[in-house]
Every structure is written in structure tokens, then in C-alpha cells.
Amino acid sequence: MVNHDLSYRRLFFHPRMIIGLLEFIPYDWARQIAPRSLRRVPDSHISDRLKERRSDMIWKGIRKPSRKPVCLLIEFQSTVDHWMGLRMANYSGMFSEIQVRTKQLEGLSKAPPVFPLLLYNGLRRWDAPLDALELYDIDTDGLEKHVLRLRLHLLEVNRFHPQDLEGRKNAFACLLRLEISRSSEEIRKVVDDLIRWFPDSTNRALRRDFATWLLAVLLPRRFPNFEPPENVNDLMEVKSMLAENVDRWTAQWREEGRQEGRQEGRQEGRREGQAAVLVQLLETKFGPLDDRLRHRVLKADSQTLQNWIRRLFEANSINQVFDDPSIN
């Protein structure tokens, strides 16, 4: 099986994907980059530390009419990382430093700016700081001027609305539509658009990598019974496969969902019973619970409830049950 992260990242090896991505950056300089000037920075121009990071990618383009370069540092994330602001500030500095060390800036007095773009496709809302300054414990004036500073530009895949993306002849917009798709029909429509907008004669590699990602990542995620076929290398083959099989996969997926739902319902019933018993035991031993503590018990998961019940029988105070000295 193709590595999921690599198949997603490989889509961004294509200039068409970066051209589309630039349309989603709300600054004039992004529109000024000449599409034909875009070049992915090769590994030989990246430090050993950055080579080890499969989630990073750097592109360089030339802005019109100034003819000045700008670099785009792309970080791919599927989970929230509290320290990402500091990490990307470090990566940005490392990249600029390696340009100096390898004499890529010979004759210049300033380095090209590096724009840090965080592409996040997790379901949980990104709530970590985007500004590196917020990650330093500064409690006095003056220090903030002398620490590493950088602000990330965040693109959250799952915050886009389908209506905002529909009809955009843009490879990156098509990827977003696939990521947020909720039905087989939506997937088929995007595949049709990719085939129509990016003909095989000039976009063979892009179409192949979309097909690879669909087969390795998206379709298994949407249809648990999906088994990737052998030797499918183009979107036309993916389209035919979808037409032949997707209704069957959907029916199987719905039936499994109903069975899982019944099982989850039974588990939830047991959890609610545990919570109700624990409330009664706590009130018998320590007196009535306040609303905040009652809500905490009723919303706890089954394992947490079991731990609290075990502590209850040896506890001399309610804070010993919850291992929380703030509870009176």
C-alpha cells in the first residue's frame, strides 16, 4: 500500500497544485508570482534536518514586476501541534541559513522572504497558537523584541464550504472538494471535473498522483470495504471503477454503520448507568454534588468512571476520588 502521507504530499510536487494553492492566499504578492517561475526547492538545497521532515515542502517563485523571489514553506498536518509556530519559525530560519551557507545568496544583502503555510486537514479545529511569540513565557517589557518571531498562515481544509469551491478550475480546489466530500456522487463529480479540466496530454503525472491518492487514502476512508484494484494509474480508470462499484460499497458501509451504531448504543447505555451509580454513591458518602461536578461525572467516559469508582471506596474526601485538590 502506498504511504498515505506521501501520496498526499506528492500531489504538491506539481506546479498546477501550487498555482491553485496561491489563489487561496489573500495577499497581492501571491497573485504577482509568475506561474512559469515556480520551482520546487530540491533536497540538495535543504538542510539534513529538513530532509528528514517528510511533512515539509518548499517552493520558490518570482514576483512580477519586481522580479524578486519569494519562498513558500508548506507544512502538512493532520493533528494539532501546540508548538508548530516555533517549529516552523525554526524551519524557516534553517532554510534561509542553508541558502547563505551554500552561497545561493552570493552578491545579495538580503534573503528571499519565506512564507510559512500550514495546511491542516484534521477534523478537530486548529486551536494552537499561530504566532511563535505567543509560545514564549514573557512577563516583562522588552523581551518580546528579542525572541524568534514568525506568524503562520493557516488553511484548514475542513472549514471550506463546497459552494465556495464549486466550479473553480483549480487543482487545489478540487483536492479540497474531495477532502470535504460527503457522498459518492460528490467524489464522482470532482473526478469528472479533474478529467475535463486537466487533459491527459499535458497533465499525466498530476492525474496519476490524484488517482493514487484516491485509491490509497480517500476511497478507503469513505468506504471501509474498498479494496484498491491493481494497475489503476489514471483518473479515467478511477471513474469507471466508481461507476461500477460505489453503490455496492455504499450499501455495505451503511449496513456496517447500522451494526456499529447498535453496538455503540449499548456501550453508551452502560456508560450512562455507571455514571448514575457513581453520582448516587458520591452523594451518599459526601452529600449533594454541585452542578459542575455532577456534569463532569455524567459526561465522563467509561474507563474514567471505573477509576473514580475504585477510588471512592478508599477516599476520605471527594477530592481524593477525582484526584483534584481544587474540589471542596
Residue 191 in any domain: the answer is no
Residue linked to cell 544583502 = 109
Beta strand 114-120 with 39-40 is unpaired
Residue 33 Cα distances to 81, 119, 174, 175, 217, angstroms: 30, 20, 21, 22, 31
**CB-CB neighbours of 40 under 10 Å:** 16
Q: Mean pLDDT score of the chain, rounded to an integer? A: 85
Query: Across the strands, what pairs with 75?
Result: 56, 118
Residue 266: band (very low, low, confident or very high) from pLDDT cuts 50, 70, 90: low
pLDDT at residue 4, rounded to an integer: 47
pLDDT at 307 over 50: yes
**Which of 159, 191, 216 is where one domain is finished?**
159
- Cβ-count burial of 247 within 10 angstroms (0-12 exposed, 13-18 middle, 19+ buried)? exposed
* Element containing residue 270 per DSSP (H, E): helix 235-286
**Which of 159, 193, 226 is where one domain is finished?**
159
**How is residue 206 written as a grid cell?**
498530476
Residue 289 in any domain: the answer is yes
pLDDT at 1 over 50: no
Residue 224 Cα distances to 13, 45, 125, 228, 248, angstroms: 28, 41, 25, 11, 12
- Cβ-count burial of 82 within 10 angstroms (0-12 exposed, 13-18 middle, 19+ buried)? exposed
Residue 91 in any domain: the answer is yes
Residue 60: band (very low, low, confident or very high) from pLDDT cuts 50, 70, 90: very high
Residue 309 in any domain: the answer is yes
Residue 302 structural domain: 268-322
* Element containing residue 57 per DSSP (H, E): strand 56-62
- Number of structural domains the chain divides into: 2
Residue 1 in any domain: the answer is no
**Which of 159, 179, 207 is where one domain is finished?**
159
Residue 125 in any domain: the answer is yes
What is the value of pTM for the model shown?
Answer: 0.72
Residue 19 in any domain: the answer is no
Distance CA 324, CA 296 (A): 12
* Element containing residue 212 per DSSP (H, E): helix 200-213
Q: What is the mean pLDDT of residues 225-252?
A: 76
Look at 47-51, 54-58, 71-75, 148-152 and tell me which has the smallest mean pLDDT: 47-51
Residue 98 in any domain: the answer is yes
